[in-house]
Amino acid sequence: MKILQILFILLLETISLFWVISWSYADWPFRPSSIWQLWLGYVLLHSLAVAGFVWCLNKWLPKHYRIPRYSAKVTLVTLTWLMPMVGMIGVGLMFYAVVRFPKAQDNRVWRRASKPELPNEPVFQPEQQFGVGGLKDILLHHPSPERRLAAVNACRYIQAREALPLLRIAITDKEDDVRLLAYALIENIEAGINQRIADLMKRLQRKETGELHLRIGQLYWELYYLDLSDGPLALNYLNAAKRHFSASLQQRTTAKGLLKLGRVYLALRDMEAAKAAFERAEAMGAVRATVALYLAEIAFEQQRYDAVRLLLCEAESADHEQLEQLKGHWCRAS
């Protein structure tokens, strides 16, 4: 049956080719009378042959060669329709060879793999192979000092917010080289932020704008948020951030600036001022799900636990995992 189907498809394709060739012979008995009749007959016959060929392949080929269904069919139709006769023969021979002589299967359960090296180039992307969790495990548990030193060096190429917890682990290492490199990287992060603040302050002296105040305040907040200081110095960073955020809002009041100022008040434990800032931000268009998370923190500090439950159930955060854990505890009874 398969042979008959193939022969019928090849016959249709051959007839379509002879239909085109007949135009060149005036005495041909089945010569089309016009150019439109010529092309209409060819397209019809050729399309029927292509449709039959694709239908047969889709029926006979193994399932994994027919997935994805739509893309596989479109590819077959395109190849065979644009290359009359040659496309069918080529595609047919290709699939015959693939099915008749399949690639040998590798049945090995275990494969020997070389030990991957930690990267030491700026192109390092930790999510591809060495995530933050992997670097942490190396710093905590790997017996080789060279390996731990390479892990510290790899921290240079991830975000400071992720690198600093790892570097704080490294400064407790028993090896001097690991500790010294970790201290140097922490100092580099802090020095880089301070240098950016100094550059923006120079621009602010030349021309004062609300955007510059906002950016400077964000950098001071980053110094505090990254836990690069403690005690009076941390308080100084918070006050500087509050001062610049307030100056930015005097120039132009925005929901973004109010959210940042509210976070500073929250860190300073000024709950009433923080609540007022967040409510103003929401009134100016801030997303309720974002504001609700901060308001829940304020309610917790004020021991209004019923309000905490209600606010957390409508809150959203970039850190979905921790937020879901909080919701699982607080929203269970709601």
Residues 184-219: pLDDT tens digits?
A: 999 999 999 999 999 999 999 999 898 999 999 999
The kind and range of the H/E element at 210 are helix 210-225
Q: What is residue 126's predicted lDDT score, i.e. its pLDDT?
A: 43
CA dihedral 258, 260, 266, 271 (to 10 degrees): 0
Confidence of residue 61 (pLDDT cuts 50, 70, 90): confident
Average pLDDT score, the chain: 80
* Domain termination residue (choose one: 180, 207, 234): 207
Residue 113 falls inside a structural domain = no
145, two tokens: 């000092």
* Domain termination residue (choose one: 99, 129, 160): 99
* Domain termination residue (choose one: 99, 123, 155): 99
Domain that holds residue 245: 217-286
What CATH number does the domain containing 144 carry? 1.25.10
Integer Cα distance of 179 and 22 in angstroms:
87
Q: What is residue 196's predicted lDDT score, i.e. its pLDDT?
A: 93
Angle at 187 (CA atoms; ends 185, 192), nearest 5 degrees = 95
Residue 38 falls inside a structural domain = yes
Whether residue 321 sits in one domain with residue 233: no
Q: What is residue 293's predicted lDDT score, i.e. its pLDDT?
A: 87
Look at the chain and report how many structural domains it folds into. 4
List the single range of 102-116, 123-137, 181-195 with lowest mean pLDDT. Answer: 123-137
Integer Cα distance of 141 and 204 in angstroms:
47
Q: When comparing pLDDT for 68 and 140, which is higher?
A: 140
Integer Cα distance of 196 and 75 in angstroms:
54
Query: Residue 147 pLDDT > 70, yes or no?
Result: yes
Whether residue 93 sits in one domain with residue 35: yes
Instruction: Round to the nearest angstrom and report the end-to-end CA distance of the chain.
Output: 67
Supply the pTM of this predicted model: 0.58
Distance between alpha carbon 107 and the CA centroid of its chain, in Å? Answer: 34
